[in-house]
Structure 1
Amino acid sequence: MLYRIAEAADWQEARQTGFFASADLQAEGFIHTSELYQVLETAARYYAGRLGLVLLELDEDALQAAGVVVKREFVASRQQDFAHVFGPIPLAAVVRSWPFAAAADGRFSLPTELGG
């Protein structure tokens, strides 16, 4: 599974259009995603202080079956490979979603179903 931290407005639009897309797709040509073990660091680095977030769980096999290309690419600033999704994500590939907010101390935690 892959995970995407999403703006609530982007998720709401996806539920209306049938496809999730975000500003990074238009700006960079792909949607950034994380493996489960990368989600909390990604949240701390890029989403601190942000409200109205949603965590999306994506089925990589469903993405590929829909013809959406997924490539793992090395990100030097994190010294890790990250999965990049090259196209809008069909709702059929979104397995689950959760509200994703930081606690009062500013730290994010995973949903209970994911071990948080």
Structure 2
Amino acid sequence: MLFHVVPVDEWTADVDRPYAPASLTTDGFVHCSPDGPAALAIANGPFRDLPDLLVLLIDEAALGSEVRWEGSEDMLFPHVYGPIERAAVTGVLAVRRDTDGHARELTPWA
């Protein structure tokens, strides 16, 4: 299972097409996380100032694009080298923040 942090408005923008964030154009791949704690760390890092975040749960085996696990010996991150087919998304979680704005938990998105 891959985890991908995304603002709500990006995920819901064009539901009839595969999901292709800006990083696919700028970096050549979609950044993903290996687990929930890493996704929360991303929500608390580069996405810190965005209030409405989701985490997509992606079935790696259902993707048509190549997935490469890249990084350092200490931590590997999955990178998807192509758009994410919406059928490969098996669940969507909401990032819940505490009163200080820290991302603390992932809960089912309604």
Q: TM-score, normalised by structure 1?
A: 0.81
Aligned length: 107
SS in structure 2 of the partner of residue 41 of structure 1: helix
Of 6-15 and 90-99, more deviation after overlay is shown by 6-15
Identity percentage of aligned residues: 31
- Superposition pairs of residues 1-116 of structure 1, within 5 angstroms: 1-17=1-17, 19-36=18-35, 37-63=37-63, 67-74=64-71, 79-112=74-107
Q: Which stretches of structure 1, 4 residues or more, deviate above 6 A after TM superposition?
A: none
CA pair 20-75 structure 1, distance change in 2 beyond 3 A: farther
Q: TM-score, normalised by structure 2?
A: 0.85
Separation in structure 1 between the aligned mates of residue 103 and residue 32 of structure 2, nearest angstrom: 17
Structure 2 regions of 5+ residues with no counterpart?
Answer: none
Separation in structure 1 between the aligned mates of residue 72 and residue 13 of structure 2, nearest angstrom: 29
Separation in structure 2 between the aligned mates of residue 93 and residue 30 of structure 1, nearest angstrom: 16
Q: What amino acid maps onto 2:6 in structure 1?
A: A
Separation in structure 2 between the aligned mates of residue 27 and residue 70 of structure 1, nearest angstrom: 17
- Higher helix proportion: 1
Q: What amino acid maps onto 2:65 in structure 1?
A: V
Structure 1 regions of 5+ residues with no counterpart?
Answer: none
